[in-house]
Amino acid sequence: MDYSQKISERMWNLPDKGEAESRREETFMDDIIQKDHIERKLLSRLEGIQTVFDGGAGCGRFSILLAKQGCKVTHFDISQSMLDKARELAEQAGVLDRIDFVKGALEDLSGYADRSFDLVVSFDAPISYTYPNQERVIGELVRIAKKRVMFSVSSRLGTLPYFSNPIQKNSFILDENSEDSWVQWCISNRQNAIDSFRFEKSRVEQLALDGLLGGETEIEEYEQGGAPWCITYTFLPDELESLLQSFGVKNIELAGPGAYARTLPREILVKIMKDPQQREDFLDFCCQYDSNRFVCGMGKDNLFAMGDL
Ligand SMILES: C[S@@+](CC[C@H](N)C(=O)[O-])C[C@H]1O[C@@H](n2cnc3c(N)ncnc32)[C@H](O)[C@@H]1O
């Protein structure tokens, strides 16, 4: 088994992971925008879709939404902690009977026949966590899809600005009084992050070149019993598009959820988000703007792609 898979399995299996993931949209506005973008795309393309495979489905943000729309969903994930949380939320939503929960790794989809599901989705980067198998995994996800695929993977162009802006996440905090530990860490660590920051050209150039986040340090930490962040492969838009084309995907649309919001200061974003009508209008416009393929590299840190078979 590759280190990526072992590291991913241990990290996502941390006991509080499912609970923390299920609360993401309460804390950071970029997460709200990204989730909303994916929801809008999903809901606008469900005609003729009855069966769905959600690969790396986490705590069920999208599998539960799809089940609520009447789809029969296979919720597939490597983490028991995530599966447990998803099952609990699916029960609360009254859709347990429409979701099959399966523990497994995206690296092995051999149990599924070609064209098994009308729609195959994988959101918020599970594909990127399968490095060095990410291309084969995309091929396998396309293989088991009959009508359509929708993925969001880690974006190289979207990630590069984080290297020069260690306080970027602060710009998206919705409520500074939130008790969320990450929000509080971002706030208390802000000045230290600025003081200790140095622009390291070699680091950004390296990521621009190989697209890889993590490696030897994560492997070492894992070997010492730690649970580091997954080794992550970040994609370029043209690379992802060519890959999907090579597997026979047609009518490919790319998007960069979060690109428009990145141009706005936090104070303005908070103002918009606190007014229900402005928030709805804004999220709708973000989805339109962020779907322009000329900005798709500048989304939050995800690159969205969908296409037909
Ligand atoms: C950031 S979460 C996204 C969850 C969900 N797709 C969403 O958007 O809410 C990444 C998920 O991918 C799962 N994952 C990571 N590596 C995986 C692998 N190799 N096979 C299957 N699932 C994996 C993790 O357990 C986690 O639930």
Query: Nearest C-alpha to atom 4 of ligand 1 is from which residue?
Result: 58
Average pLDDT of the segment spanning 147-151: 98
Q: Which residues contact 13 (CB under 8 A, 6 or more apart)?
A: 78, 79, 80, 81
Note the pLDDT tens digit of each residue in 82-118. Answer: 999 999 999 999 999 999 999 999 999 999 999 999 9
From the CB of 12, is ligand 1 less than 6 Å away?
yes
From the CB of 78, is ligand 1 less than 6 Å away?
yes
Question: According to the model, what pLDDT value does residue 6 have?
Answer: 86
From the CB of 124, is ligand 1 less than 6 Å away?
yes
From the CB of 79, is ligand 1 less than 6 Å away?
yes
Note the pLDDT tens digit of each residue in 4-15. Answer: 888 888 888 887
Q: Could you tell me the distance, in angstroms and rounded to a whole number, from the CA of residue 106 to the centre of ligand 1?
A: 9
Tell me which of 39, 77, 101 to substitute to probe ligand 1's pocket, judged by most ligand atoms within 8 Å of the beta carbon. Answer: 77
Answer for the pair 27, 173: CB distance below 8 angstroms, yes or no.
yes
Answer for the pair 108, 76: CB distance below 8 angstroms, yes or no.
no
Which atom of ligand 1 lies nearest, measured to the CA of 106?
Answer: 20
Chain-centroid distance, C-alpha 277? 26
Residue, of 270 and 216, whose pLDDT is higher: 270
The Cα–Cα gap between 80 and 105 comes to 12
Question: According to the model, what pLDDT value does residue 146 have?
Answer: 98
pTM over 0.85: yes
Q: Could you tell me the distance, in angstroms and rounded to a whole number, from the CA of residue 122 to the centre of ligand 1?
A: 8
What domains are defined for the chain? 3-308 (3.40.50.150)
Q: Could you tell me the distance, in angstroms and rounded to a whole number, from the CA of residue 56 to the centre of ligand 1?
A: 3
Please work out, in degrees rounded to the nearest 5, the angle formed at the alpha carbon of residue 218 by the alpha carbons of 140 and 58: 45
Q: Could you tell me the distance, in angstroms and rounded to a whole number, from the CA of residue 194 to the centre of ligand 1?
A: 31
From the CB of 77, is ligand 1 less than 6 Å away?
yes
The Cα–Cα gap between 130 and 168 comes to 26
The Cα–Cα gap between 297 and 234 comes to 11
Query: Nearest C-alpha to atom 1 of ligand 1 is from which residue?
Result: 124
Look at residue 23 and tell me whether its pLDDT is greater than 80: no
Instruction: Work out whether strand 99-103 and strand 72-77 pair parallel, antiparallel, or are unpaired.
Output: parallel
The Cα–Cα gap between 233 and 212 comes to 5
Dihedral sign from CA coordinates of 44, 49, 52, 55: negative
Q: What is the mean pLDDT of the chain?
A: 94
From the CB of 123, is ligand 1 less than 6 Å away?
yes
From the CB of 8, is ligand 1 less than 6 Å away?
yes
Look at residue 1 and tell me whether its pLDDT is greater than 70: no
Note the pLDDT tens digit of each residue in 188-244. Answer: 999 999 999 999 999 999 999 999 998 888 888 888 888 888 899 999 999 999 999
The Cα–Cα gap between 147 and 157 comes to 29
